Structure 1
Amino acid sequence: MAMRKAKNVLTGFLYHVHQPFTTNPAMTTPFWMGKIYLVPFGEIEEGVLEHLVKTLPGVLGYETAKLLSRPYPGRSYDPFRRQYRGEAFLEALPQGGPDRYVGLVEADLYVPPLNFIFGLADRATGRAVVALPRLRQEFYGLRPDRERFLERVVKEVLHELGHTWQLGHCPNPLCVMHFSNSLADTDRKEPRYCPRCLAQMPFSLAAKKTA
């Protein structure tokens, strides 16, 4: 049952659009009325949050704000695997309305049957979580590269947000919605949605920016 639930959260087979829309009088395409909230779990470097707050609106055209840090959810740690359960953090996030909540955590996450995850999203509730450790060069014994790390964080957040907006994985290796089997895939991607994915959005990013 847990494995089936994890699969649904990752792929969103049965989820539908729940967010309300409004319409720009100058356009026929609806635009989203929500905000994006970043939710740190435990201690998250302030510079990471600030970078996202400054960067995401330039890509999406939507207001992004950070909320107060909250503790790790109870029973989220798996001592056998020495990792944390991704769904525990997802379920600990706020939900309701059109807003999107993205949790950020400095912990190695997993969901069965995967060995680890970079991020996780629930299309039904508009919640997502991104794990930061494996996005860092030093996790693999390499020299730290802050610029590359921040680029990866932005891409993973955009990727998971795309899932909350009903987007699946994209075959275009340059699209931010392309599935990352490794960090090489993440580094290859651009921090934006391709035209194909933009066309599948239930609202228009351009409509919001010009409203």
Structure 2
Amino acid sequence: MSYIYIISIELEDSTRLDALERLIQGVFRMRTRRRELGIRLKEVYDPGRAQYNSSLILQQLITRPPLNAEKILGVLDVDLFIPILTFVFGEAQLKGIGAVVSTHRLHNRFYGLPEDSELTTDRLLKEAVHELGHTFGLVHCLQPKCVMNASTYVEHIDQKSSEFCPLCEKRVHADRRSPVKRILGFFSRGVNP
């Protein structure tokens, strides 16, 4: 059996992970497991930007995945970037195993507004499903309410739902049911511990 692993990376407040786990299980129809992982954040910090390179975090995250991991989602609370963008809420490998999402810019306090824990959790859930959607082969969707719609600003996250539109829903589950995918998965995983 394969799992979506939710990896807490130096996360001070892990209270949102229960809700995240429930949503991921429902949306992707897969079981989840949680782990903590010691990512070397100092190695991916860019002092000139005062941010962390999400591509390098992702690289560390997927270096030695558990044998029974179909996907790995890293969750942390630092300001992320990729070299071509000012910031990112998260990053994922298209049709790959790994994704990472940060709560840093999902908090109202980042924007000088009163903190709203429920809103932060809602944003995290949407971004996590979005990034995991990429790992299942989904690209950005033009449907404004679809969770796969691109989010350049936190307001965009607030305007969309935490669910796939009917077409993205069909695509994410069709890819997982493919006979070729199941056979390749069987041979690539070997014996699960």
TM-score, L = length of structure 1 = 0.76
User: Which residue of 185, 191, 195 corresponds with 2:156?
Assistant: 185
Alignment-derived partner of residue 17 in structure 1:
none
Alignment-derived partner of residue 172 in structure 1:
143
Alignment-derived partner of residue 6 in structure 1:
none
Q: Which contiguous aligned blocks of 4+ residues in structure 1 show a shift greater than 6 angstroms? A: none
Instruction: Flag the structure with higher helix content.
Output: 2
TM-score, L = length of structure 2 = 0.83
Distance 1:117 1:61 in 2: 27
Q: Is the 8 A contact 2:79 2:104 kept in 1?
A: yes
User: Which residue of 47, 56, 59 corresponds with 2:24?
Assistant: 56
Q: Which has the higher contact order (CA 8 A, sep 6+)?
A: 1
Which residues in structure 2 correspond to 1:128-207 (within 5 Å)? Answer: 128-201=99-172, 202-203=175-176
Alignment-derived partner of residue 77 in structure 1:
45
**Structure 1 residue ranges without an equivalent (≥5):** 1-32, 205-211
The Cα of 1:59 is off from its aligned counterpart by: 2.5
Q: Is the 8 A contact 1:44 1:104 kept in 2?
A: no
The Cα of 1:158 is off from its aligned counterpart by: 0.3
Identity within the alignment, %: 34
The Cα of 1:65 is off from its aligned counterpart by: 1.7
SS of structure 2 residue aligned to 1:75 = helix
RMSD value, Cα = 1.7
Q: Is the 8 A contact 2:39 2:61 kept in 1?
A: no
Alignment-derived partner of residue 56 in structure 2:
88
- List per-residue Cα deviations over 1:48-88 (Å, max 9, x = no partner): 22221233212222112210242434520000111111111
Aligned pairs, how many? 172
Q: Is the 8 A contact 2:96 2:136 kept in 1?
A: no
SS of structure 2 residue aligned to 1:99 = strand
- Cα 1:42–1:142 shift into 2, 3 Å: same
Distance 2:176 2:36 in 1: 29
The Cα of 1:160 is off from its aligned counterpart by: 0.4
